[in-house]
Amino acid sequence: MFRKYLLISILLTTLLFCGCGVDIHQVNVPEASVVYDINGRPIKGLAEENRISIGFEEIPDSFKAAIIAVEDKNFYEHHGVDISGILRAFVLNIKAGKITAGGSTITQQTAKTLFLSNERTWPRKIKELFYALELERSYSKDEILTMYCNTIYFGHGAYGLEVAARTFFNKNAQDLTAEESALLAGLPNAPSLYDPYINPEKAKARQGLVLQRMVEEGYISENDREAIISRELKYQQADYVLGEAPYFIAMVRDYLSKKYGERMVYQGGMKIYTTLDLDMQKAANRAYKEGMKEREADVQAALVALDATNGHIRALIGGRDFASSNYNRVFSERQPGSTFKPFLYSLAIEWGLTEAYMMKCEKVEFKLPTGDTYEPNDYGDEKYHWKEFTIKEALMISDNVIAVRVNDMLGAQHVADHAEKFGFKGIQPILSLPLGSKEVTPLDMAAAYNVFANQGIYSEPIYVLKVVDQDGKVLEESRTTQRQVISPENAYIVSDMLKGVMGPGGTGANLQKTVGRTAAGKTGTTDDFNDAWFVGFTPQLCCAVWVGYDQGRNVNLVGSVAAGPIWANFIRDASVSLPDLDFEKPANVNLINVCLDTGLISSESCPRRSRMAFIEGTEPKEICYYHTFNLDWLLKDAATP
Ligand SMILES: [Zn+2]
Ligand SMILES: [Zn+2]
């Protein structure tokens, strides 16, 4: 008994002591965090998080009853604090040696949200009591309840009832039905646990508990409860003003929420410095809109662009419409089709093959370990070309048979191992590997191609550079992680082959005019036409675009038609302020004109020629004899020193 009196006197003394000198009008109003782009411009989204205050009249009676029944049944009777509840909590906390139990009234919770940080310390807990008493003295019960409804957190970034109503039921608070009010009133207690989008059963059970309390407190009858609980809840998110980069902002928010908690992210006044470039993001949005305007409503697309020099994510689009589907498809695993071929040819170059190496596209049978046979063939009407190509042209026209033959020649295990150097995981050493048998994400693809753009260096993609708290303290800072995975010569030669894709005869030839600057890239279309890709780069910027259905339905479009134009329009617009650079040629690489029909040094008589890159000493030694038997020409050439 003595102990209890001692506790009460300690509590009251501290309460009075802490109360001295605290001014209720100096409120520490929660401050939204701001996300900045690479140039320090705020990215719309997190800062403009809908924070909509409504008046007492707009809060439906059903919600008032529900929230009071479940959070603070004596709200209209007490003086801001529930003394017996506090004492109970106090004793429990003393026993536990730390603050665990709450015993918070609606007034205390409002005080906490409005004036205090989220830490659980004794002085903070006592200040909360003081502020609660002050609130009760300065405001009416209805005003306090209104403040409470406008500030409590319901999950999914929704602070306040109005935003919650829009977030979960796509309507205004005043239009909420009794079942919706009861559902929402259950959320503030544990927003993540009862998240209706993630745990609909738990949310429903919590609604049941709220309704039970409402019966106990006489707000509704048992019959009402049964009627209300039987009604179906339809969750739907409203269209917000989402800003220029909703998927990027969501990615940043999810990352930070996991690390620091949602309250800190939404109300902690953090400054979040990211890698996004708003101008490039706008270019991406325009290219995306233009490229998708003819597509059916449920065809999706993802775009991600990286700075070639450091792996910074400069632009990102995760889908068609964030409001209807916030799933970020930049992280979606899809079959890459022929966009996987460059990794094969990179190993071929590493093993001493040259761009001019000739191989025949013809019917070939491979015996598989299973006893089956595998016969690769090209897309389109003709299964085979029945002729020889240089491997540069094989990549330019995206020949499947030659890719599989080269894979067989190098050994699929070696090719798989080589591909994993570019950041991929779990590549199976199978013959169809270069045709894109392993599903990969658009982000992985952009990071992998970035190796070619940046002289053989792999850069880990990053998007948050620095996080600073309200007081200016740096909470974290990221730097680029890089490793050399292929030689600069190899990167240059593969880039040269991929430049060929954009040239006459290449599968991306229709895009070069749009891009209007030095660029390299590759189309990809899966066997079943479910996925269309274009991945390509300039020396400054690398971008992957994927187009398809979430459920893997046939889009009936090839990469160059569906994904290519989005990529090309983006690269053009995103690069306006960048100089038109060529890839940096290593000193020991020579450029030679080669006859595409023989793989030999071309003469003026060769009808199809291409400039190819060779590591010094690997150049073809002979002039194309097939097209060149003009003695005069040979003599003239020999006479030139
Ligand atoms: Zn072929
Ligand atoms: Zn020739």
Residue 18 has pLDDT above 80, yes or no: no
Distance between CA atoms of residues 345 and 353, nearest Å: 9
Instruction: Look at residue 24 in the predicted model and tell me its pLDDT.
Output: 53
Angle at 420 between CA 418 and CA 421, to 5 degrees: 70
Point out the ligand nearest to the CA of residue 620.
Answer: 2
Top mean-pLDDT range of 107-121, 253-267, 583-597: 583-597
- Cβ atoms of 347 and 73 closer than 8 Å: no
Residue 47 has pLDDT above 50, yes or no: yes
* SS3 assignment, position 271: strand
Distance between CA atoms of residues 105 and 99, nearest Å: 16
Point out the ligand nearest to the CA of residue 599.
Answer: 2
Point out the ligand nearest to the CA of residue 363.
Answer: 1
HEC per residue, 355-400: CCCEEEECCCCEECCCCCEECCCCCCCCCCCCEEEEHHHHHHCCCH
62 an active-site residue?
Answer: no
* pLDDT-above-70 percentage for the chain: 88
Distance between CA atoms of residues 191 and 208, nearest Å: 16
Residue 623 Cα, ligand 2 centroid: separation in angstroms?
Answer: 8
Residues near ligand 1 ion, CB 5 Å cutoff: 361, 378, 385, 399, 401
Q: Among 62, 104, 181, 338, which one carries the catalytic annotation? A: 338
Residue 241 has pLDDT above 60, yes or no: no
Tokens of 623: 């002039």
Instruction: Look at residue 200 in the predicted model and tell me its pLDDT.
Output: 93
Residue 594 Cα, ligand 2 centroid: separation in angstroms?
Answer: 8
Residue 154 has pLDDT above 50, yes or no: yes
Please return the burial class of 104, using the count of CB atoms within 10 Å of its CB with bins 0-12, 13-18 and 19+.
buried
For the residues 105-125, what does the mean pLDDT come to? 76
Residue 378 Cα, ligand 1 centroid: separation in angstroms?
Answer: 5
Give percent helix, percent strand, percent coil of the chain, each to the nearest 5.
Answer: 40, 15, 45
Point out the ligand nearest to the CA of residue 364.
Answer: 1
**Residue type at 427?**
I
Residue 617 Cα, ligand 2 centroid: separation in angstroms?
Answer: 21
* SS3 assignment, position 545: strand
Point out the ligand nearest to the CA of residue 384.
Answer: 1
* SS3 assignment, position 149: helix
Residue 527 Cα, ligand 1 centroid: separation in angstroms?
Answer: 15
Mean pLDDT across the chain: 88
Instruction: Look at residue 198 in the predicted model and tell me its pLDDT.
Output: 87
Residue 395 Cα, ligand 2 centroid: separation in angstroms?
Answer: 19
* SS3 assignment, position 457: strand
Non-local CB neighbours of 164 within 8 Å, separated by 6+ positions: 154, 158, 173, 184, 187
pLDDT tens for each residue of 402-433 = 999 999 999 999 999 999 999 999 999 999 99
Residue 631 has pLDDT above 80, yes or no: no
Residue 498 Cα, ligand 2 centroid: separation in angstroms?
Answer: 22
Residue 397 Cα, ligand 1 centroid: separation in angstroms?
Answer: 8
Distance between CA atoms of residues 272 and 466, nearest Å: 6
pLDDT tens for each residue of 304-325 = 999 999 999 999 999 998 877 8
pLDDT tens for each residue of 353-377 = 999 999 999 999 999 888 999 999 9
Burial letters 232-264, b for 16+ CB under 10 A, else e: ebeeebeebebbbbbbbbbbbbeebbeebebbb
Pairing of strands 271-274, 34-36: parallel
* SS3 assignment, position 634: helix
Instruction: Look at residue 27 in the predicted model and tell me its pLDDT.
Output: 47
Sign of CA dihedral 582, 586, 591, 596: negative
Residue 437 — pLDDT band, cuts 50, 70, 90? Answer: confident
* CA distances, 166 to each of 19, 52, 66, 178, 200 (Å): 39, 11, 18, 16, 17
Residue 532 has pLDDT above 90, yes or no: yes
Residue 403 Cα, ligand 1 centroid: separation in angstroms?
Answer: 9
Residue 342 Cα, ligand 1 centroid: separation in angstroms?
Answer: 16
Residue 385 has pLDDT above 90, yes or no: yes
Point out the ligand nearest to the CA of residue 594.
Answer: 2
pLDDT tens for each residue of 23-42 = 555 444 556 788 899 999 88
Displacement of CA 299 from its chain's centroid (Å): 18
Residue 267 Cα, ligand 2 centroid: separation in angstroms?
Answer: 69
pLDDT tens for each residue of 541-567 = 999 999 999 887 777 777 778 899 999
Residue 11 Cα, ligand 1 centroid: separation in angstroms?
Answer: 85
* SS3 assignment, position 465: strand
DSSP state of 152: -
Residue 586 — pLDDT band, cuts 50, 70, 90? Answer: very high
Domains of the chain with bracketed CATH: 2-30+55-230 (1.10.3810.10), 338-435 (no CATH), 589-639 (no CATH)
Residue 3 has pLDDT above 50, yes or no: yes
Q: Among 49, 62, 71, 128, which one carries the catalytic annotation? A: 71
Instruction: Look at residue 234 in the predicted model and tell me its pLDDT.
Output: 92
244 an active-site residue?
Answer: no
Point out the ligand nearest to the CA of residue 602.
Answer: 2
